[in-house]
């Protein structure tokens, strides 16, 4: 169990999906939080968590792709809580299109939100972490790009693989200054993003896509946002104090099977 009591966490993309699940687990373990999202729904999430867990939560409605906004969000976090111990840089988007039809705008959206958004988050929080003598950053990469890919995911796969490189470089660059940087590589969790991808893949029967995902996972199901939140909590806590620059596959063994039909099962 991760101990986050009185830690200050900066969590992006917290209005829905995984970010909301991460925030809930952080609240359960006693963290104070700044929740950032494009959507004003993040304010309802903050109210729910304050009521349910008695933790202090503030919010910032803004775009991770906007560097000035991320700097302002980090500044407000430090003004309110005095420091920033953990950053969960989770906000991200995924748009599907055949590669030859993928517009430059769609490519750039992945670069702006997924790559620059995470970059901006790191540059916004690291000055506070340096000042206070350390911190932990957890980046939402994916199995997509670095390990596997499906057709139509070129923009997304490229952007998520880039985050593995960012994780490794920052881990080395800040190791002696006590800032740890790790990334998650999730297979699938059922979130608004995955429901939208299922709808784009099979508009008549999106549930068949979700069932197909589950059928390809040896554990037979998708992850829950809370299960992903537990990984983020461990990587943000002192319990993972010697872990940095690492990539954590969390996929119910989805990327492991070698040959369909082979073996004893």
Ligand X SMILES: NC(=O)c1ccc[n+]([C@@H]2O[C@H](COP(=O)([O-])OP(=O)(O)OC[C@H]3O[C@@H](n4cnc5c(N)ncnc54)[C@H](O)[C@@H]3O)[C@@H](O)[C@H]2O)c1
- Residues in contact with ligand X by CB under 6 A are 12-13, 15-19, 37-39, 63-65, 90-94, 113, 117, 140, 142, 186, 188-189, 191-194
Pick from 148, 137, 179: which is nearest to 254 by CA?
148
Asked whether the beta carbons of 38 and 60 are under 8 A apart, the reply is no
Helix ranges, 35-85 (H): 41-53, 67-81
Q: Report d(CA 95, CA 119) in Å as an integer.
A: 20
Examine the residue annotation and report whether 26 is marked as an active-site residue of this protein. no
Q: Which whole-number Å values give the CA distances from 160 to 90, 166, 184, 221, in the listed order? A: 11, 10, 10, 23
Which residues have CB under 8 Å from 255's CB, separation 6+? 143, 147, 148, 187, 249
Asked whether the beta carbons of 160 and 195 are under 8 A apart, the reply is no
Pick from 200, 198, 235, 253: which is nearest to 22 by CA?
235
Q: Report d(CA 37, CA 66) in Å as an integer.
A: 12
Helices 41-53 and 17-28, interaxial angle, to 10°?
20
Q: Report d(CA 203, CA 107) in Å as an integer.
A: 23
Q: Report d(CA 182, CA 247) in Å as an integer.
A: 6
Residue 178: how many other CB atoms lie within 10 Å = 15
Q: Which residues are catalytic?
A: 156
């Amino acid at each position: 169990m991760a101990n986050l009591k009185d830690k200050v966490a900066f969590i992006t993309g917290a209005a829905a999906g995984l970010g909301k699940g991460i925030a809930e687990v952080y609240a359960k373990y006693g963290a104070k939080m700044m929740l950032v999202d494009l959507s004003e729904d993040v304010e309802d999430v903050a109210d729910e968590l304050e009521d349910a867990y008695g933790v202090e939560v503030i919010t910032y409605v803004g775009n991770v792709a906007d560097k000035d906004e991320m700097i302002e969000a980090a500044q407000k976090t430090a003004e309110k809580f005095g420091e920033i111990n953990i950053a969960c840089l989770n906000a991200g988007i995924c748009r599907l299109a055949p590669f030859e039809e993928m517009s430059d705008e769609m490519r750039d959206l992945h670069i702006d939100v997924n790559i620059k958004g995470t970059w901006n988050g790191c540059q916004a929080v690291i000055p506070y972490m340096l000042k206070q003598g350390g911190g932990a950053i957890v980046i939402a990469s994916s199995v997509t790009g670095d390990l596997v890919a499906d057709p139509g995911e070129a923009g997304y796969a490229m952007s998520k693989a880039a985050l593995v490189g960012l994780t490794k470089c920052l881990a080395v660059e800040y190791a002696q200054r006590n800032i740890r940087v790790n990334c998650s590589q999730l297979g699938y969790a059922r979130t608004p993003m995955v429901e939208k991808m299922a709808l784009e893949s099979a508009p008549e029967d999106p549930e068949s896509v979700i069932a197909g995902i589950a059928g390809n996972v040896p554990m037979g199901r998708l992850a829950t946002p809370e299960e992903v939140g537990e990984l983020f909590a461990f990587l943000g806590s002192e319990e993972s104090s010697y872990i940095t620059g690492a990539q954590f596959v969390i996929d119910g063994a989805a990327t492991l099977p070698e040959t369909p039909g082979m073996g004893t099962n």
